[in-house]
């Protein structure tokens, strides 16, 4: 097991955004996370990456309790993430963004950071855009860059927040192909996505969240056939 979230709770004022959430993710597994808008999915990522502190509960990574670690420390232990709204350094080139991320992600020399950046350019099909200003790219390439920046920190666990959102069918398929390559190399992934067919094509298991609570967890087929999920999430009567 690579990640364990145990009894995680988070409240904003009167709103209990994460309610006693527990789950595990195995090494090499892809866990898809589904849930209606405002269900608490991004908050769960923030609790895992350390961007937001838990009110109570624990997060374990590779057997170690990382609950008290700050975001950059969690990144250096091997947790990389993308954000729902990409925010690269817009005036820097794609390549410079990746070198910066590689340096941030660990104690690597400049030479190693360049090597990592070059490898990530290949993986994410961004090589033709290496010298382009990050702020001037299409949505697909901005999404790729968001993925690439997370990869450049060399994560063992990759948190992807709606990476396919807003893309056309064709573009989403291209991105899924890239994610399949990343998965095949053994990277463990948690992927929040509203584009269900994209998620289904790669997830080993699904976790469905509603009002900050776990509604269902299991194989994609079991979860999508779960009457509660169909009723609450898809608005379908069982």
Ligand X SMILES: Nc1ncnc2c1ncn2[C@@H]1O[C@H](COP(=O)(O)OP(=O)(O)OP(=O)(O)O)[C@@H](O)[C@H]1O
Give contact residues for ligand X (rule: CB under 6 A): 12, 15, 17, 35, 37-43
Minimum Å gap between C-beta 113 and ligand X is 32
Least Å distance between CB 213 and ligand X? 12
**Residue number, 5 or 94, with CB nearest to ligand X:** 5
Least spacing, CB of residue 182 vs ligand X, in Å: 22
Shortest Å, Cβ 41 to ligand X: 4
To the nearest whole angstrom, how small is the minimum distance from the Cβ of residue 49 to ligand X? 13
Cβ–Cβ < 8 Å for 82, 147 = yes
> Of the two residues 33 and 134, which places its CB atom closer to ligand X in the complex?
33
Comparison of 39 and 151: residue with beta carbon closer to ligand X: 39
């Amino acid at each position: 097991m690579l990640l364990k979230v145990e009894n995680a709770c988070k409240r904003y004022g009167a709103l209990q955004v994460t309610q006693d959430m527990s789950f595990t993710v195995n090494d090499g597994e892809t866990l898809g996370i589904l849930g209606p808008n405002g269900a608490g999915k991004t908050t769960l990522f923030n609790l895992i990456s350390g961007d937001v502190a838990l009110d109570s509960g624990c997060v374990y990574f590779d057997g170690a309790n990382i609950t008290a670690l700050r975001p950059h420390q969690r990144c250096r232990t091997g947790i990389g993430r993308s954000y729902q709204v990409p925010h690269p350094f817009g005036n820097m080139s794609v390549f410079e963004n990746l070198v910066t991320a590689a340096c941030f992600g660990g104690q690597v020399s400049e030479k190693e950071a360049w090597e990592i950046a070059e490898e990530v350019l290949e993986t994410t099909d961004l090589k033709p855009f290496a010298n382009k200003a990050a702020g001037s790219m299409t949505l697909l390439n901005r999404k790729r860059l968001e993925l690439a920046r997370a990869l450049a920190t060399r994560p063992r666990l990759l948190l992807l927040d709606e990476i396919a959102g807003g893309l056309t069918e064709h573009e989403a398929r291209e991105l899924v192909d890239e994610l399949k390559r990343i998965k095949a190399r053994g990277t463990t992934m948690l992927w929040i996505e509203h584009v269900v067919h994209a998620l289904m094509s790669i997830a080993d298991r699904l976790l469905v969240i509603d009002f900050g609570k776990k509604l269902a967890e299991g194989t994609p087929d079991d979860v999508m056939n779960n009457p509660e999920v169909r009723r609450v999430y898809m608005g379908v009567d069982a």
